[in-house]
A = this chain, B = another copy of it.
């Protein structure tokens, strides 16, 4: 199986289980369930749950044992996108070319849909019991996912992003923000795959370093694509006030240096990956993300 075939296999597997794992039905919360279904099926790349599955695979774990962890991580990610798009945050009317949740429904429903994803992620984790995982592994995953997605991780990073967009940023701050905002949840995704497979503490530590570098590379590439994809910005000097996103790596480093940074992060990620059991797919994925066009 080549890289693209393997990637599609993981994505199909995760999409199958995302639809099946938790019925989005409720007597009282019919509308919020609709909104959650809408956001869950609006065509994400499923990068994070793919990482959970691929890392579990690398350590010789069964794919089924990581499926709840993978779905829970995607729930947190989808919830965060809904809240990030809100008018009081990034104020984005579109998400992947379709109306954002608060445009399709309304702001109240979007806040509640995000809350629903955050809160239900942990019910999904507990379902791993039905897939043969023992309690200790599920609890370890629960503590890690909770920490990496909250104020010591993703939520903390989004808070810093809001501040930097208002007050301006330097590279040191942007790197810390990218670590919290983007790498934290990617670290959770990868480490949960390792936990599901029963990896050792030192292996999990290496996975965490790999995922940190991968997340930084991913976010830097994202910032590059934001500028390269927007011709109205491309024509202006970097650092001018036309750009919306003042906390972007490209804005503080310039396009050339940001491109070098993304390469360095990718090299760091591959360096850590090479300490782990050989895995062609993860090596290919890590390089694929560096050169992707969205």
Which of A's residues lie within 8 Å of B, judged by CB? 24, 26-33, 36, 76, 79-80, 83, 86, 88-89, 106-109, 111-112, 114-116, 118-123, 125-127, 129, 135-136, 138-139, 142-143, 145-147, 149-152, 155-160, 162-163, 176-177, 179-181
Contacts and interface: CB of A to CB of B under 8 A. Distances in A.
A105 to B, nearest CB: 10
B106 A32 contact: no
Nearest to A145: B122
B159 A146 contact: no
Given A83-B111, A88-B111, A138-B139, A122 B120 contact: no
Given A29-B151, A126-B139, A157-B28, A83 B176 contact: no
A109 B89 CA distance: 9
Contacts of A118: 115, 118-119
B177 A119 contact: no
Given A24-B151, A28-B180, 7 more contacts: A36-B151, A88-B108, A111-B111, A122-B143, A123-B143, A126-B139, A127-B143
